[in-house]
Amino acid sequence: MSQNGQERDRRFGTAILVGQFVMPRGTAFATHWHPDHQLLCSEKGLLRIRSEHGTWLLPPSLALWIPAHVPHATASEGDAVMRGVFIDPESCPHIGWRDPTVVAVTPLLHALVVHLDRTDLTPEARSRAEPVLLDELRPVPVTSVAAPEPRDPRARAVAEALRARPADGRALAAYGGQVGASARTLARLFVAETGLGFGQWRERLRMQAALPYLVEGLPVEAVARRVGYASASSFTAAFHRVVGVTPRQYFPR
C-alpha cells in the first residue's frame, strides 16, 4: 500500500502495471511514496516529477525509475497520459539505483510495458517477459531541470517575472528599481536561496519553458526564440549544458 492509502491494482510476479492514467492539463498527484520501485513514463504528453532529489520533465522517450519509499509528486504539463510499472524490490536486487534515475524508453521497453498491461497473459508468459523489461532499463545522462523558487520577496518577484516571460534577457540591474534591491543584492540572494547563480537559474528556467514547446513538435529555431535565444545552435548548446543531452536526443523523432 502506498502512503496515500491506495491499494495496488494487481500483482503478477515481478512487474505490476498499475495502468494507464489520463491526465488533462493541470492534473497533479500530491507527494506520496510506494513500497515498490516505480517506473514512471508518459504515453503521451509531458509529465513533471518532483522529489527532494530534483525535478524531471518526461516526454514519451524517457521514463523515471523511482526507488521504493522515495517521496515524489507528479503533474501533467498540458494534456498527458501516464503509465506506471511497480516492481518488487526483492525481485531485482541487481538494480541498485538509490536515487531517481532517468532511463530511455526504447521501442522494446515500450512494447514490454504495453504487453504486461494485458490481463490475459499466463503466469508463464508474464514470468518470461518481466526479466526482459528489467534488462532493458538503460540510464541516460539527463539531469534535473529544477529552478528553485527564491524565498526573499525581492528575488521571488524577479523569478515570477521571468517565469511569465522567460525570453526576457535583461540583466539583474534592470529589475532593481522594480523590486527595491541592487543587482549585487539580487545576485547574492539567488545564490544563497537557490544554490545557483542568476545566469544558471535563468538558463534552467528557460529549459523548463522550452520542453512543452518541444514535445508539441515545434522547430528548434522557433523554440529558441520563444525562450530567449538568438539561434537554434545557441539554444541547443544551452540545452545540452543544462539537461545533459541535445533536444534531438531528448525528443527523438
Residue 101's pLDDT is 95
Residue 217: partners with Cβ closer than 8 Å, 6 or more residues away: none
Q: Please report, in tens digits, the pLDDT of each residue of the chain (253 residues total).
A: 344 433 344 444 455 665 788 999 989 999 999 999 999 999 999 999 999 888 899 999 999 999 999 999 999 988 999 999 988 888 887 788 989 999 999 999 999 999 988 888 888 898 899 889 999 999 999 988 889 999 999 999 999 999 999 999 999 999 988 899 999 999 999 999 999 999 999 999 999 999 989 988 899 999 999 999 999 999 999 999 999 999 998 987 6
pLDDT of residue 1: 37
Task: Please tell me the predicted confidence (pLDDT) of residue 19.
Answer: 77
Contact present, 210 and 227 (Cβ < 8 Å):
yes
Count other Cβ atoms within 10 Å, centred on residue 25. 11
* pLDDT value for 123: 86
Cell numbers 506520496: residue: 32
Residues 239 and 203: their CA atoms lie apart, in Å, by 9
Task: Give the Cβ contact number of residue 136 at 10 Å.
Answer: 18
Domains and CATH numbers, the chain: 15-135 (2.60.120.810), 153-250 (1.10.10.60)
Query: Cβ of 97: how many Cβ atoms within 10 Å?
Result: 13
